[in-house]
Homo-oligomer: A and B are copies of this chain.
Amino acid sequence: MLFSGVNMEFEKISSRSNEKIKLFQHLSQSASFRRETGLFALEGARICSDAAITGIEIKTAFFTVEALRKYPEYADAVIKKAEQCFEITHDLCGRISDTRGPQGIFCICVQRKNFDEQNLCENGTYIALDNMQDPSNLGAVLRTAEAFGLSGVLVGGGCDIYNPKALRAAMGSSLRISVLTTSNLPSLLIFASKKGMLTVASTPDSSAVCVKDMPKRDGIVCVIGNEGSGISQEVKDVCDMQITIPMRGRAESLNAAAAAAVLMWELTK
């Protein structure tokens, strides 16, 4: 097998003021800049290789010499797909990395297209996130959604799936599972309802229907709320029913990613 990366020579970047490096950093740091440009920054040997294999468009890739030696197969997959490749210094790698132990592979990628709401599958099983703020929770939900074979994830406000921490927590699932990001979740839920789907709001309210007693059926959208304030009133108002995971003890709620895992398990098992 040929690991081209090891034997190839790339133009070397060592300055933080290089325009491509500045673009990478800006994409790491700013959700609004990601939205404007439709690009995102990705870091890590395995996940950059996953992106290449999954067919994500890679504009620019950066490698340290050490990474080319240490991760030849991952680097090779990226090199084959990237429009441009650069070598970066070890020092620069440390500066642009979002992690403590950077692996030395970075990409600037094009965001995937939202799936169109017209393509919401009326027999599908979806989870919807109403203003989830924590990127690690968001990433964990995407990872679990893929593992449990959900049809897709509807992201209504809050953290975006291209946040570096969310990307890391999702372990590549964000690059594969169908995602529809919307600024108007209530209207999307009304649309799903009109298609004959059941829309369900999850709540810590113990008077809601227990998740075990939820009707088992195809065509369902289950909403998870914000970490602090739960599901917004606007979203509750348009949902067909409310469900809850019963709790004991003095814990008043579950971590959003843990609650989502239990709900998705019950929806798909």
7 A-B pairs within 8 Å (CB atoms) are namely A143-B251, A143-B258, A146-B251, A148-B247, A257-B257, A257-B258, A262-B265
State the Cβ distance, A208 to closest chain B Cβ, in Å.
Answer: 15
- Which stretch, A33-41, A95-103, A170-178, A233-241, touches the partner chain B? A170-178
A254 interfacial by beta-carbon distance below 8 Å: yes
Q: A260's closest neighbor in chain B, by CB?
A: B258
A133 at the interface (CB under 8 A from B): no
List chain B residues, Cβ under 8 A from A262: 261-262, 265
Question: In the complex, A136 Cα to B143 Cα: how many Å?
Answer: 16
A137-159 interface with B by 8 A CB criterion: 140, 143-144, 146-149
Does A194 make an interface contact (CB < 8 A)?
no
Shortest beta-carbon distance, A253 to chain B, in Å? 8
**Cβ contact within 8 Å between B257 and A143:** no
Q: How many residues of A contact B (CB 8 A)?
A: 33
* Interface status of A255 (Cβ within 8 A of chain B): yes
B269 near A146: Cβ-Cβ < 8 Å: no
**Is A250 an interface residue when CB atoms closer than 8 A count as contact?**
yes
A140 touches B257 (CB 8 A): yes
User: Which residues in B have their C-beta under 8 angstroms from that of A261?
Assistant: 254-255, 257-259, 261-262
Cα distance A245–B268 in the bound complex, in angstroms: 12
Residue among A173, A177, A245, A254 with the highest chain B CB neighbour number at 10 A: A254
Name the residue of chain B whose CB is nearest to the CB of A176: B250
Alpha-carbon distance A261/B255, docked complex (angstroms): 10
